[in-house]
Structure 1
Amino acid sequence: MLMLKPPITRLGGKSRLRKQIIEMIPEHTCYVELFFGAGWVYFGKEKSKVEVINDIDKELINLFRMMKYHAPEIERMLEYEFSGRDIFEEYKNYTIDYLTEIHRAVRFLYLISQSFAGKGNHYGYGTNTRPCPQIFYKNVLGDIKERLRNTYVENLSFEKIIEKYDRDYTFFFCDPPYFETAGYGFEFGEKEHLLLRDKLKNIKGKFLLTINDHEKTRGWYKDFNFRNVEVGYSVSNGNSGRRKYKELIITNY
């Protein structure tokens, strides 16, 4: 199967771990991603009978919803754009309340793809890398649209998604914001992590969770199965921002 590349990048994306994660996915009927982000695992794995992608970021979920239903119009609007600092700042300063859902999706896609580390805050540039060009090409969203066609796209809290979709044939892939790691834009502290742990402890289905290797995260999930992995991430400009981090893959199977 051809692995699709997500149309955006996100902090903590699973590009380097997705092959290993996909190999660990058990048999299931319903596949659920609680924290979708860029969707590296979803876009890389075989289709499941039923698929659900969820994220609390309204703009992110609006983007994928619009790709599902209006990909050609998004491509048409971006076809004559180019990577420019002034354009980036203009999109960044738009008041989204006055934009249509399609315009919001175009704005979000532009900001994420043309910013450093996919954060959407600062215009990304380099002397040995080209600007992210694929969003300006025609017919690049077709495969993404097809992949989303039979997927439920949700914008709810993770606990509500677990309550709605948990069955003995459901598999949850969980990639929450890492503990004590800044830069996600949403509050996800110890309280939220413990709520997630308590919800996962009592599900009927199966789960695979990825989290940074930390004394507390090990303690929270001590009753489950662990796999230790090392992953290299770039979190800032320069070599000092490129290093290996220890992570855990945790399962209840």
Structure 2
Amino acid sequence: MGGVFFRRKAVPRSEVINDRNGEVVNLFRILQRHYPQFMDTLRFQITSRREFERLKACDAATLTDLERAARFLYLQRLAFGGKVAGQNFGVNYEGPSRFNMNRLAPLLEDAHERLSGVVLENLDWLDFVNRYDRPGTLFYLDPPYWGSEGDYGKQLFGREQFALMAERLGRLKGRFIMSINDVPEIREQFAMFSLQQVSLSYPVATGKGTPALELIITG
């Protein structure tokens, strides 16, 4: 979701980001309101497997929002595949560490500027759609892949939610774009919408990538 958001060329009059897990929204809120303090928190952080495991084992509920945002970004940058749940320390054989403040600082500064005026929500996807659905609204949905529903955090999104999502999107007043893995079950659930197959590579431990197919679903 964040990748799509930050690559947008045109900025509409109103933008809302929703993250049920809460970690992305907390990070964006800190970048939006406390950017200098956030940068100070990260300034002397190094890439270390031991530090990665320490922060991974830490209970985020015991941290301040600033510490929590720094922890989330550090783990996301260094976790293999950028996973939210079940994270493992990623090894890069072909370049420097992905957590490099000299390279990361310009990206975070741009993010700080981009988030100006954006509303940050922390709702269940259905509550979010119901609240903001109206003619002229465009939703971008990035649910967990079919078969990997636990990757965004257990209890947040179950497989049964796909059928509910298809039904709700069928009654949408606005429009939507959704990206998801291309499997027969998804094609069956969302058969009433436009389905476009795209090819890409998923990262793997060897660094070569493995070919994969995804669907862009629109309606």
Query: TM-score, normalised on structure 2?
Result: 0.89
Residue 139 (structure 1) shift: 5.2
- 1:248 is aligned to 215
- 2:206 is aligned to 238
C-alpha distance 203-138 of structure 1, shift in aligned 2 (>3 A): closer
C-alpha distance 133-192 of structure 1, shift in aligned 2 (>3 A): same
Q: What's the C-alpha RMSD, in Å, of the aligned pairs?
A: 2.0
Residue identity opposite 1:154 in structure 2: E
* 1:162 equivalent in alignment to 2:129: yes
CA–CA distance in structure 1, aligned partners of residues 158 and 64 of structure 2: 33
CA–CA distance in structure 1, aligned partners of residues 130 and 106 of structure 2: 37
Residue 143 (structure 1) shift: 1.2
Counterpart contact for 2:91–2:205, Cα < 8 Å:
no
CA–CA distance in structure 2, aligned partners of residues 134 and 52 of structure 1: 29
- 2:141 is aligned to 174
Residue 91 (structure 1) shift: 1.7
Match of 2:3 among 9, 30, 40: 40
Summarize the alignment of residues 4-15 of structure 1 with structure 2, pairs less than 5 Å apart: none
* 1:205 equivalent in alignment to 2:174: yes
Residue identity opposite 1:131 in structure 2: S
Query: TM-score, normalised on structure 1?
Result: 0.77
Residue deviations 1:91-114 (CA, integer Å, cap 9, x gap): 222232321100111111111112
Match of 2:57 among 75, 88, 93: 93
Counterpart contact for 2:149–2:159, Cα < 8 Å:
no
CA–CA distance in structure 1, aligned partners of residues 92 and 53 of structure 2: 18
Residue 183 (structure 1) shift: 6.0
* 1:125 equivalent in alignment to 2:125: no
* 1:226 equivalent in alignment to 2:195: yes
Summarize the alignment of residues 12-27 of structure 1 with structure 2, pairs less than 5 Å apart: none
**SS of equivalent to 2:54:** helix
CA–CA distance in structure 2, aligned partners of residues 224 and 237 of structure 1: 35
Counterpart contact for 1:68–1:149, Cα < 8 Å:
yes
Residue 125 (structure 1) shift: 2.4
Counterpart contact for 2:27–2:69, Cα < 8 Å:
yes
CA–CA distance in structure 1, aligned partners of residues 178 and 105 of structure 2: 36
Number of positions where the alignment pairs a residue of Structure 1 with one of Structure 2 = 213
Unaligned runs of 5+ in 1: 1-35
Residue deviations 1:152-183 (CA, integer Å, cap 9, x gap): 11111110010110010100111211111366
Query: Would you tell me which structure has more helix in proportion to its own residues?
Result: 2
Unaligned runs of 5+ in 2: none
* 1:216 equivalent in alignment to 2:179: no
CA–CA distance in structure 2, aligned partners of residues 91 and 183 of structure 1: 20
